[in-house]
Amino acid sequence: MPDVDYEINAHKYWNNFYKIHENGFFKDRHWLFTEFPELAPSQNQNHLKDWFLENKRSEVPECRNNEDGPSLIMEEQHKCSSKSLEHKTETPPVEENVTQKISDLEICADEFPGSSATYRILEVGCGVGNTVFPILQTNNDPGLFVYCCDFSSTAIELVQTNPEYDPSRCFAFVHDLCDEEKSYPVPKGSLDIIILIFVLSAIVPDKMQKAINRLSRLLKPGGMMLLRDYGRYDMAQLRFKKGQCLSGNFYVRGDGTRVYFFTQEELDMLFTTAGLEKVQNLVDRRLQVNRGKQLTMYRVWIQCKYCKPLLSSTN
């Protein structure tokens, strides 16, 4: 199995995928507003900061209709730990304050897309915009600006030529999540939300940590990273044939695109190592029935929310 080929030519395989399917493969993810209310119009920076002011933790068992979008068996809304509250009350060293002020000046001096926005969302691995366009259609907050990027230039071209694409509210660009040399078009500490929907699983496992580290640095204190991805022993994993496994729990599909299947613990390690704190980390198990094909499919997905502490001791 030419493993190196799948890495070197990954852009080619994804471009071919979008050339074949264009915008007809994925449905718009309107369920996002149920699972990630941070994306809804009523959400703003004050709401995110409120998470830190609550010191209670709650677990709410909940069953949902599974006809449209995900059905979560259990939802745990773990507020950011009291550790971040302690950080909030500490007085940073004078040197750190000065550094922060210089950093703020640099950010203000730089003109970048959405620089005047008050609420910034970035989706990594946006595909043809099935997440971005529902956000723009639903959230009419004048201070909102949405960035979206994808590894595939074909996908970004489809986003930019979509009638819903509005350059005054959105900026789409080609970006390789694993490219350590190429920077994002926004300053560090400037984003409120980063969205990762079935994208982290598409990259080589040993490059995941550095990718999350780079994204974490883009978040404002109090900002949130939202993820939904494939869980271990999902139906898709069990259906792979012998010879399609590139390494432990990492597979190649027939079209050359790749996919990894996570455990909750693996994702928790990735996010906490990047300096983020757990708000939510749950498994969504769902039984899907395709009556037409008489197929029963057992899906396993993982949903995570991790926040950046209000004051971080690390750069």
What is the per-residue pLDDT across 45-72, written as a single tens digit (0 to 9) for each?
A: 444 444 444 433 333 333 333 333 443 3
In angstroms, the CA 269 to CA 274 distance is 8
User: 193 pLDDT exceeds 70?
Assistant: yes
96 inside domain:
no
Q: Which of 4-18, 176-190, 265-279, 286-300 shows the highest mean pLDDT? A: 265-279
- Check residues 94 and 306 and name the one with the higher pLDDT: 306
CA distance 200 to 260: 8
Does a structural domain hold residue 221? yes
Range of the domain at 17: 2-38+111-308
Q: Are 182 and 46 in contact (CB under 8 A)?
A: no
**Nearest C-alpha neighbor of 39 from the set 189, 165, 155, 197:** 197
Q: Is the pLDDT assigned to residue 247 strictly greater than 60?
A: yes
> Does residue 68 form part of some domain?
no
Of 187, 55, 44, 58, give the one whose Cα is nearest residue 113.
Answer: 187
Q: Please report whether residue 193 resides in a domain.
A: yes
Q: How many domains does the chain have?
A: 1
Does the residue 252 lie in any domain? yes
Closest among 199, 152, 173 to 304, alpha carbons compared: 199
Which domain CATH number covers 154? 3.40.50.150
Dihedral of CA atoms 99, 306, 179, 32 in degrees, nearest 10, equals -130
Query: Do the domain assignments include residue 9?
Result: yes
- d(C-alpha 42, C-alpha 126), whole Å: 23
Tokens of residue 51, six digits: 């998470």
For 53-57, the CB contacts below 8 A with 24+ separation are 54/79, 55/79, 55/82, 55/85
For residue 185, give the DSSP letter. Answer: S
Q: Does residue 92 lie within any of the structural domains? A: no
pLDDT tens for 122-145 read 999 998 888 999 999 888 899 999
Q: Which tens digits make up the pLDDT trace of 253-289?
A: 877 788 999 999 999 999 999 999 999 999 999 888 8
- Rounded distance between C-alpha atoms, residue 105 and residue 269, angstroms: 33
Q: Which residue carries 């971005």 as its tokens?
A: 132
| The token pair that represents 106 in the structure block | 């640099």
Which of 155, 223, 169, 145 has the alpha carbon at shortest distance from 14? 155
* Inside any domain, residue 25: yes
The position carrying tokens 């993820």 is: 227
* Contact between 122 and 128 (Cβ < 8 Å): no
Q: Quick check: 130 and 27 in contact, CB under 8 A?
A: yes
